[in-house]
């Protein structure tokens, strides 16, 4: 859950202005149960008058339930004054802004003691029953918990069933005590797993209801419809008519009476019937007035095709922000701007609100594209492949509706089995990961994410930062952990989608290859094994059957090469044998047209035999000819995906197999460490931040690591060569000496490390030599680090970089001075599960060094895993850790030790409140 460290350390000592500044970052839009949006803001003293207006607007029943009286105006004014006089810590409030800047909801707590507070809510009558109370309760609890409030209490009348329902269904462990006519409710402010799950379910319901307005409208208006075919307004209106939308389509154009044989209206407001969805395709300067007109009409969903918004610069960004403000004011949801529209092939809807020249066939694939131009190509390519689409969305600038909303919609859509996404950017990658993990357990998500280039990489000074910068390994990590299938190209995306949409998932990695030519089969086998698939030898029984039906020149072990003379019937019998072999999980069938056997006959046989498999094993076909796959391959009740080259089929199958492996893996939560001293760690970082952003002192790093039981080697920080000598004497063992100096990040490279020193005299002399060395470069050490010399082991790296979008990125790899040369690193996003940590370590090329390579002793891999998990927990709890290096993290036969550790902290802004759209 979101956790802001500055709120954990004596918030009473911060000024009101400082506390407010910390909290305003959390403000934002939230989605209500019906799909509409409102804005949640922190209560300020100057909101008093608007809060008074809310109290006055409440019905007598609502006043009684809120104030335990009918509340005269003077009483309401006094209460508004009291509840708006917040200090942002012991007293705090949230307000909800609806249309016309009206306050439609309010939540407030005031402390009763050090860790208890009384809580109260007021919801405008016309906003009750829309989930607003639940949102405010969760967000208020989040702030209260951060400010040290552990328990909420509320006094309410027994008749207040609505608020009692909110408390009961929140997922908090609620205690209710009854007195005469009243109920006393108390519950902890800390989030339970049940509370989080219920909130996520509420968010999903809100997203689904919002998108139903787009995909299943009762009536559609096209603002900017045109009589001129070839124009955007003309083509969109034509497509809506020609695809036979199951409802009225209204053209809106003040310059025309009739458009494409349909009476036109000068404005949306003059349309006689209700309008659910409006498609706006007018010049950018006219979009805002058109949107306001739609709002006054009561339209609830807008698709803005028009360009000229955030993609064009600062003026366009302001125009887009104003468009969003208009939509919020009228309770409308928005797709776009700068998009190509939406499409729903459901026969009961038949919505084509795009300007594409063709409509893809109906099917069970949901597709979202962030690029409008690519959207056109996508629809055209889907047509050529016969890939059926359920719904298509061009999200454009994603000013409102995003890929996360669409994932939630497709999760609940019974007409969608496979989800395809073309992404150029993330709005909220953390949320994407959470949703994708859940959705991917039932429906595969296939993504092309552009932007693999190093442009715009962060400038970092740690080893970890250098390994992670200039790449999109964070995106790869997110997709890997969330079970998302990432493809490198759009063509590969369709290759995988065609397989997933038409064939079952493979039960394992073993592939049977059937071919009439040896060369393509070898290429196919190589491609399979290069991507983690296996080419097993068929059973003796299967080989015996194949020898009986094929020529003696044929190869029957796997790949099965039937040679060029193979007939269609031999294909049939061979497919049956290989498909029934217990060593085979999936099949790739390759055909190169010889002189005698017709491709059409082979395609017919493949289609018939695949149908008989009854989706028990996936089958991919490869027809290596300029003509491509014959139509017979798609003529039966089961469609068989076909590819031009064997490597393409192997790659698609490998991605499907890897996804199935992820889906079958048990989902586990990150471990919780009972010995962690979280508050103490927060205090160490907060104290360091008083100096400003920067690296922790060695003693601060040691204290921080001790709070999370990270095995930092025994060490002492001293301020002079003489003190270093005394420290070495006190340790009474062989020591290492390291200088501490401003700007010296990599100590070994700077030559300020001395190893295997014995006795005070040797340590003192070495410290003086280092001082002279630094002085010759205009530097002076501020101190020395004296460490116990560690026994040898395998040197690893454990590190973290805090990505501004993705949060903490955890890295594990080969460590020591050659870390950036070897670049053997695995990356995941925090928080890590035990499976994540184990997978990271075992994926390294240097992993054999930990498991007895060439007769070496086995190392304690569990100790390294434990270190990874504890680092992950620390950086997840303390988002102000910007960079962290444990290098080397030396793994021994028993246990592990960190020889060098550095931590950089930064006063990053807190994450948004739970539920706020980011």
**H-helix segments, 216-352:** 232-242, 284-297, 314-330
Q: What does the pLDDT average to over 629-641?
A: 82
Best CA proximity match to 221, nearest among 310, 341, 302: 302
Quote the distance between the C-alpha of residue 419 and its chain's center: 15
Q: What is the pLDDT of residue 891?
A: 95
**Range from 460-464, 814-818, 839-843 carrying the lowest mean pLDDT:** 460-464
CA-atom Rg of the chain in angstroms: 32
Within 10 A of 5 (CB to CB), how many other CB atoms are there? 24
Q: What does the pLDDT average to over 444-472?
A: 57
Q: What is the pLDDT of residue 2?
A: 36
Best CA proximity match to 679, nearest among 7, 14, 92: 7
Q: State pLDDT tens for residues 46-69.
A: 999 999 999 999 998 888 888 877
* 3-state SS string for 716-779: EEECCHHHHHHHHHHHCCCEEEEEECCCCCCHHHHCCEEEEECHHHHHHHHHHHHHHHHHCCCC
Check whether the bond before 337 is cis (ω within 30° of 0).
yes
Q: What is the pLDDT of residue 819?
A: 63
**Range from 123-132, 412-421, 628-637 carrying the lowest mean pLDDT:** 628-637
Reduce the DSSP state of residue 337 to 3 states and report it.
coil
- What is the spatial distance between Cα 502 and Cα 661, in angstroms, rounded to a whole number? 19
Indicate whether 628 pLDDT > 90. no
Within 10 A of 128 (CB to CB), how many other CB atoms are there? 16
- 215 and 286 Cβ atoms separated by less than 8 Å: no
Of the two residues 202 and 519, the one the predictor is more confident about is: 519
Reduce the DSSP state of residue 231 to 3 states and report it.
strand
Torsion of CA 4, 827, 397, 94, to 10 degrees: -10
Q: What is the pLDDT of residue 17?
A: 63
Q: What is the DSSP string of 235-260?
A: HHHHHHHHTT-SS-EEEE-TT-SEET
Contacts of 754 (CB under 8 A, 6+ apart): 736, 737, 738, 766, 770
φ, ψ of residue 575 in degrees (nearest 5): -60, -45
Q: State pLDDT tens for residues 517-546.
A: 999 999 999 999 999 999 999 999 999 999
Q: What is the pLDDT of residue 161?
A: 75
Secondary structure E strands in 158-312? 175-179, 182-188, 220-223, 249-252, 258-259, 262-263, 277-280, 301-304
Provide the 8-state DSSP code for 790: P
Global pTM reads 0.82
Best CA proximity match to 32, nearest among 168, 124, 164: 124
Q: What does the pLDDT average to over 747-756?
A: 82
- What is the spatial distance between Cα 169 and Cα 156, in angstroms, rounded to a whole number? 17
| CA-to-CA dists, residue 918 to 74, 203, 758, angstroms | 40, 13, 56
- What is the spatial distance between Cα 232 and Cα 812, in angstroms, rounded to a whole number? 51
Q: What is the pLDDT of residue 745?
A: 67
Indicate whether 75 pLDDT > 90. no
Quote the distance between the C-alpha of residue 857 and its chain's center: 40
Indicate whether 18 pLDDT > 80. no
Quote the distance between the C-alpha of residue 490 and its chain's center: 21
The tokens of 766 are what? 């070495």
| CA-to-CA dists, residue 750 to 303, 745, 770, angstroms | 58, 8, 10
Q: State pLDDT tens for residues 779-812.
A: 888 889 898 998 889 999 999 998 888 889 999 9
Q: State pLDDT tens for residues 331-386.
A: 899 999 999 999 999 999 999 999 999 898 999 999 999 887 777 787 888 887 88
Residue appearing with tokens 């918030």: 11
- 269 and 297 Cβ atoms separated by less than 8 Å: yes
- 317 and 310 Cβ atoms separated by less than 8 Å: yes
Of the two residues 574 and 594, the one the predictor is more confident about is: 574
Q: What does the pLDDT average to over 565-584?
A: 96
Q: What is the pLDDT of residue 805?
A: 80
Indicate whether 848 pLDDT > 80. yes
Cross-strand pairs, 220: 249, 277
- 533 and 559 Cβ atoms separated by less than 8 Å: no
Q: What does the pLDDT average to over 232-253?
A: 96
Burial class (CB in 10 A: 0-12, 13-18, 19+), 661: middle
Best CA proximity match to 143, nearest among 917, 918, 916: 916
- What is the spatial distance between Cα 429 and Cα 423, in angstroms, rounded to a whole number? 12
């Amino acid at each position: 859950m979101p956790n802001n460290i500055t709120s954990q350390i004596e918030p009473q000592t911060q000024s009101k202005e400082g506390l407010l500044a910390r909290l305003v970052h959390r403000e934002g839009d939230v989605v209500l149960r019906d799909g509409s949006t409102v804005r949640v803001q922190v209560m300020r003293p100057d909101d008093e008058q608007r809060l008074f207006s809310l109290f006055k607007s409440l019905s007598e029943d609502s006043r009684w339930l809120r104030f335990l009286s009918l509340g005269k105006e003077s009483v309401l004014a006094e209460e508004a004054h009291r509840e708006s006089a917040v200090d942002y810590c012991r007293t705090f409030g949230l307000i909800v802004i609806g249309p016309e800047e009206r306050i439609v909801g309010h939540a407030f707590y005031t402390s009763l003691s050090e860790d208890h507070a009384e809580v109260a809510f007021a919801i405008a009558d016309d906003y009750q029953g829309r989930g607003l109370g639940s949102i405010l309760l969760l967000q208020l609890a989040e702030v209260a918990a951060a400010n040290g409030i552990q328990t909420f209490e509320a006094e309410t009348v027994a008749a207040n069933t609505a608020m009692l329902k909110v408390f009961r269904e929140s997922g908090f462990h609620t205690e209710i005590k009854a007195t005469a006519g009243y109920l006393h409710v108390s519950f902890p402010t800390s989030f339970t797993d049940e509370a989080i799950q219920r909130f996520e379910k509420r968010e999903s319901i809100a997203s689904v209801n919002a998108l139903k307005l787009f995909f299943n409208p009762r009536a559609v208006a096209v603002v900017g419809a045109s009589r001129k075919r070839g124009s955007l307004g003309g083509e969109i209106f034509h497509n809506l008519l020609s695809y036979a939308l199951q409802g009225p389509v209204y053209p809106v154009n003040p310059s025309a009476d009739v458009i494409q044989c349909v009476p036109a209206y000068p404005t949306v407001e003059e349309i006689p019937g209700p309008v659910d969805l409006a498609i706006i395709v007018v010049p950018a300067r006219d979009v805002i007035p058109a949107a306001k007109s739609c709002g006054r009409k009561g339209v609830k969903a807008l698709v803005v095709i028009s360009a000229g918004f955030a993609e064009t610069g600062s003026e366009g960004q302001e125009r887009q922000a104003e468009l969003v403000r208009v939509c919020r004011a009228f309770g409308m949801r928005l797709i776009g701007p700068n998009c190509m529209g939406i499409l729903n092939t459901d026969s009961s809807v038949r919505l084509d609100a795009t300007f594409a020249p063709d409509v893809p066939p109906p099917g069970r694939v949901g597709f979202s594209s962030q690029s409008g131009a690519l959207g056109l190509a996508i629809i055209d390519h889907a047509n050529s492949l016969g890939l059926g689409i359920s719904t298509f969305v061009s999200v454009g600038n994603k000013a409102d509706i995003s890929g996360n909303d669409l994932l939630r919609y497709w999760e609940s859509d019974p007409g969608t089995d496979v989800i395809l996404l073309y992404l150029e950017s993330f709005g909220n990658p953390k949320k994407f990961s959470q949703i994708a993990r859940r959705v991917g357990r039932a429906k595969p998500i296939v993504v092309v994410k552009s932007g693999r280039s190093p442009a715009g990489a962060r400038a970092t000074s740690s080893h970890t930062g250098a390994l992670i910068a200039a790449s999109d390994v964070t995106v790869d990590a997110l997709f890997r952990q969330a079970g998302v299938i990432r493809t490198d190209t759009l063509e590969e995306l369709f290759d995988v989608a065609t397989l997933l949409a038409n064939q079952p998932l493979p039960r394992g990695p073993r592939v049977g290859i059937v071919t009439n030519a040896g060369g393509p089969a070898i290429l196919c086998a190589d491609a399979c094994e290069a991507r983690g698939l296996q080419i097993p030898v068929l059973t003796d029984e299967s080989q015996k059957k194949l020898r009986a039906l094929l020529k003696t020149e044929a190869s029957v072990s796997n790949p099965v090469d039937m040679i060029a003379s193979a007939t269609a019937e031999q294909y049939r019998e061979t497919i049956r044998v290989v498909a029934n072999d217990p060593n085979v999980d999936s099949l790739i069938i390759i055909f190169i047209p010889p002189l005698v056997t017709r491709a059409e006959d082979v395609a017919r046989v493949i289609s018939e035999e695949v149908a008989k498999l009854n989706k028990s094993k996936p089958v991919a076909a490869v027809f290596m000819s300029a003509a491509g796959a014959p139509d017979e391959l798609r003529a039966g009740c089961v469609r068989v995906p076909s590819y031009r080259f064997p490597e393409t089929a192997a790659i698609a199958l490998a991605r499907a197999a890897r996804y199935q492996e992820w889906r079958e893996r048990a989902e586990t939560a990150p471990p919780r460490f009972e010995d962690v001293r979280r508050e103490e760690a927060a205090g160490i970082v907060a104290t360091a931040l008083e100096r400003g952003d920067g690296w922790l002192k060695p003693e601060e790093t040691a204290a921080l690591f001790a709070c999370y039981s990270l095995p930092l080697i025994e060490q002492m920080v001293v301020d002079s060569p003489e003190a270093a000598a005394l420290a070495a004497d006190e340790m009474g063992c062989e020591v290492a000496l390291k200088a501490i100096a401003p700007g010296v990040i990599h100590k070994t490279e700077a030559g300020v490390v001395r190893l295997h020193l014995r006795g005070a005299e040797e340590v003192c002399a070495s410290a003086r030599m280092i001082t002279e060395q630094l002085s010759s470069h205009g530097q002076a050490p501020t101190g020395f680090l004296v460490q116990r010399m560690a026994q040898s082991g395998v040197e690893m790296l454990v590190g973290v970089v805090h990505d501004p979008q993705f949060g903490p990125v955890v890295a594990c790899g080969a460590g020591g001075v050659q870390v950036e040369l070897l670049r053997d690193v695995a990356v995941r996003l925090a928080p890590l599960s035990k499976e994540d940590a184990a997978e990271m370590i075992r994926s390294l090329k240097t992993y054999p060094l930990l498991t007895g390579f060439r007769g070496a002793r086995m190392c304690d891999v569990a100790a390294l895993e434990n270190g990874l998990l504890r680092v992950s927990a620390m950086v997840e709890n303390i988002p102000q850790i910007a960079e962290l290096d444990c290098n080397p993290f030396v793994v021994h036969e028993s246990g592990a030790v960190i020889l060098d550790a550095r931590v950089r902290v930064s006063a990053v802004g807190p994450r948004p409140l739970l539920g706020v759209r980011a």
